[in-house]
Amino acid sequence: MKTEFVSVEIEKHIAVVEMHRPPVNALNLQFLEELLFVFDALAADEGARAVILTGHGNIFSAGGDLKDPMGGLDVAHDTHRLRVASEVFFRVLSCPKPTIAAINGPAIGGGLVLVASCDILIASENAFLALPEVAQGLLGGARHAMRFLGHSLTRRMILTGHRVSAAELYRRGAIEKCVPRDRLVAEAREIASEIATKDPSVLQLAKRALNDTEEMSLRDGYAYEEGLVVNCLAQMRKRARRTGAVANDDDA
């Protein structure tokens, strides 16, 4: 699968999604719509069990395209682009296939939000995260950043433009790995390969549990998970009955 700015290769149930809009993978409206299309397609593709999202070259994404300014046309244009961007981020977050961000370089503004929307994060040593919107008279990314960076660091980043290196992110436990650039995708593939060996239906329920319980209380979250466990057990019984039926047919 390939669009103008996004390519997808699926091998051994692992989909590698590479963003390629030189020079910095800036997110204009067309690019956002293409990402939306790609993640819709992957959600429905039974051949993909895990997804790796990365950028081409040494930049993950510099965020919104400053050459396509939000105020360039009118309020309706601004609102539409923001809505499409929001839909992309939540489509990545809600993708039924576990998603790994292989952060190959700077992830700035909307690029950071893409990172925050993924399930597992690893980064190359040249990568950093930043939210510089305030310096440009804009806002964005605060709530997504708080999900994995915490209260104080998120506020420092937004209020000062502070950049956080991959090494610092790893030290804080915000990402799983900090690796040399030439090892990044291979390391992401190792994690994706582990995921791809699991039952796809159970993976989807597990991701649903992770997403849906994030804002719940401990009691409500556990009760919700219990319902999903009942679903898993029902699926196991169905598989066992089917297997038994096949065995009986063979015996006959």
For residue 123 the two structure tokens come to 């980064």
* Cα gap 188→183, rounded to integer Å: 9
Burial state string for 121-133 with b = 16 or more CB within 10 A and e = fewer than 16: bbbbebbbbbbbb
Among 18, 133, 187, 225, the active-site one is: 133
The strand pairing partners of 10, in sequence order, are 15
* Cα gap 163→219, rounded to integer Å: 37
Are residues 5 and 38 in contact, defined by beta-carbon separation less than 8 angstroms?
no
What is the residue-wise DSSP string for 156-187? Answer: HHHHH---EEHHHHHHTTSSSEEE-GGGHHHH
* Cα gap 71→78, rounded to integer Å: 6
* Cα gap 99→51, rounded to integer Å: 5
Q: Does 215 participate in catalysis according to the annotation? A: no
Catalytic residues: 133
